[in-house]
DNA sequence: CATATTATGTACTGTACAGTACGGTTTACA
DNA sequence: TGTAAACCGTACTGTACAGTACATAATATG
């Protein structure tokens, strides 16, 4: 009667998580409803609870998956050439664009909001995202230092600071839901500013002097 | 922005708001309960609703008040002397300490979490806090530039960047609820780092050179 | 075809909450 | 001392939700 095509368990699970992801990201944990999710999946609540024993479990599954994919995007370092400056700029571009995107924004909001009730979430974001990302970037920093483009310093701290510089003014405005769409020109400006600030702090004397012309 | 002041009975109103503030900051909007608040105030729900027509109104009243007091603390510039460097360092110390405190942390979390459902909140935080704070700091920047300690640049952008530099690594960890208590030594390190970074970017050549020794 | 598994809709339980109704009680004050 | 406003407790309405029960239908496997 209802020509429902039977699909494999994994696919159904994926479909549930996809819908749940949208609901949780848009509504937050409390306001998202299991009945709503079941309805949008097209199945029934009974089936939903057959796959995930509780709302909490579904939420955690979604957050873990999203954490893995997003963080993998966020902290990717494309070593696309020999020039460390190019790699650095490419990283800033990717990172800043993503940080200001709807998806990362929404996810970040959820993590911050729910990390009080569910501390595991904040720890996951830190351990599997941020920390791992910085570890990856250490290699990039070392390359720059070995090439003489960056000052000799603790590469871990340097990586940490690059990320810090990338999350700027626009990020705050997005967190407060003031900017819904960020004009590309502003993103470009933010990228240039973050790169320049980083080079002014960690670049060799020559690069730092050049970068400092950005500030004044 | 929500001036609904009743004549007389100010103490009771204040008592309600004090309790509501604690509840909202600890539980968030959804999980905070009006019955709970009424009980903790010592009164009844009828009285509570006599003062605030709805949960939403009470929430807004609390957020507005908290916004005003917190932001006033956060963005205060103590011009306690003639030396701009001292004023600058004092500002960093005050700002960073407050940003990492329980109160500001909790409030920031609420604003981020609820600015989706209540966009007015994010706008209030921006308009009456952040924006106004930066306007105040512009004066400080101008002083530094006039004194020749800072490079000539747009004082507004410079002020914006100082704030940006102050919200560092530790702020992220607090947002994710990983650090509950921040060791004072780490706070001091963060203060020194932010000051140094700012001077390396916006300080005159002499100060910038000195500040850059911090990085490597 | 027989049987075990899985999906289905519907309707239920229990709970928690915002907001209201109301009759009685305290307080302010004239 | 009288009166009106403010307050109180309690119990209520209506709603929304997580999670469950159950009887039925579709599918797979043998």
Per-10-residue mean pLDDT for chain B, 216 residues long? 40 92 95 94 90 95 92 82 81 95 96 96 90 90 92 94 92 95 94 94 93 88
Can you tell me the distance from the alpha carbon of B35 to that of B41, in angstroms, rounded to the nearest whole number?
10
Note the pLDDT tens digit of each residue in A68-106: 888 888 888 877 667 778 888 899 999 999 999 999 999
Q: What angle do CA B16, A109, A67 make, to 5 degrees?
A: 145
**DSSP string covering B101-125, please?**
SHHHHHHHHHHHHHTTT-HHHHHHI
Note the pLDDT tens digit of each residue in A171-184: 999 999 999 999 99
**Residue A8 distance to chain B (closest CA, Å):** 36
Q: Are A153 and B215 in contact (CB under 8 A)?
A: yes
- For A7, residues 6+ apart whose C-beta sits below 8 A from its C-beta are A15
**Helix, strand counts (H, E) of chain B:** 12, 0
Nearest-Å Rg of the Cα atoms of chain A is 21
Exposure letters B21-41 (e unless 16+ CB within 10 A, then b): bebbbeebbeebebeebbebb
Confidence check: pLDDT of A4 > 50: no
For strand D, the positions having any atom within 7 A of a protein Cβ are: 6-11, 16-23, 25-28
Can you tell me the distance from the alpha carbon of A43 to that of A107, in angstroms, rounded to the nearest whole number?
26
Residue B131 has, within 13 A of its CA and on its CB side, a CA count of 10
Phi/psi for B37 (5° steps) reads: -60, -45
Res A105: pLDDT: 95
**Which residue is listed with tokens 């720890």?**
A123
Inter-chain residue contact B28 with A116, CB threshold 8 Å: yes
Q: What is the DSSP letter of B126?
A: I
B153-159 LR contacts (CB < 8 Å, sep 24+): B153/A215, B153/A216, B153/B202, B158/A215, B158/B202, B159/B134
B161 contacts in chain A (CB < 8 Å)? 197, 215
Res A101: pLDDT: 95
Q: Considering only CB atoms, which residues of chain B are within 8 Å of chain A?
A: 28, 30-31, 109, 111-113, 115-117, 119, 122-123, 125-126, 130, 150-153, 158, 160-161, 164, 167-169, 172-173, 175-178, 197, 200-202, 208, 212, 215-216
Inter-chain residue contact A115 with B177, CB threshold 8 Å: yes
Query: Residue A12 — very low, low, confident or very high, per pLDDT cuts 50/70/90?
Result: confident
B169 contacts in chain A (CB < 8 Å)? 160, 164
B123 contacts in chain A (CB < 8 Å)? 176, 178
Res B81: pLDDT: 66
Can you tell me the distance from the alpha carbon of B181 to that of A16, in angstroms, rounded to the nearest whole number?
38
């Amino acid at each position: 009667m209802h020509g429902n095509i039977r699909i494999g368990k994994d696919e159904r699970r994926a479909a549930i998580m996809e819908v749940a992801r949208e609901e949780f990201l848009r509504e937050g944990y409390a306001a998202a409803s299991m009945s709503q999710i079941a309805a949008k999946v097209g199945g029934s609540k009974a089936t939903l609870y057959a796959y995930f024993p509780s709302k909490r479990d579904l939420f955690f599954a979604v957050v873990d998956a999203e954490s893995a994919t997003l963080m993998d995007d966020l902290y990717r370092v494309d070593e696309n050439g020999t020039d460390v400056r190019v790699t650095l700029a490419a990283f800033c571009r990717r990172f800043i664009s993503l940080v200001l995107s709807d998806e990362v924004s929404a996810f970040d909001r959820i993590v911050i909001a729910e990390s009080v009730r569910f501390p595991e979430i904040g720890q996951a974001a830190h351990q599997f995202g941020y920390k791992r990302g910085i570890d990856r970037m250490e290699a990039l920093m070392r390359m720059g230092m070995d090439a003489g483009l960056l000052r000799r310093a603790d590469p871990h701290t340097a990586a940490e600071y690059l990320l810090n510089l990338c999350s700027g003014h626009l990020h705050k405005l997005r967190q407060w839901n003031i900017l819904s769409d960020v004009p590309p020109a502003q993103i470009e400006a933010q990228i240039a500013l973050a790169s320049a600030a980083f080079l002014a702090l960690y670049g060799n004397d020559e690069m730092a002097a050049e970068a400092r012309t950005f500030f004044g």
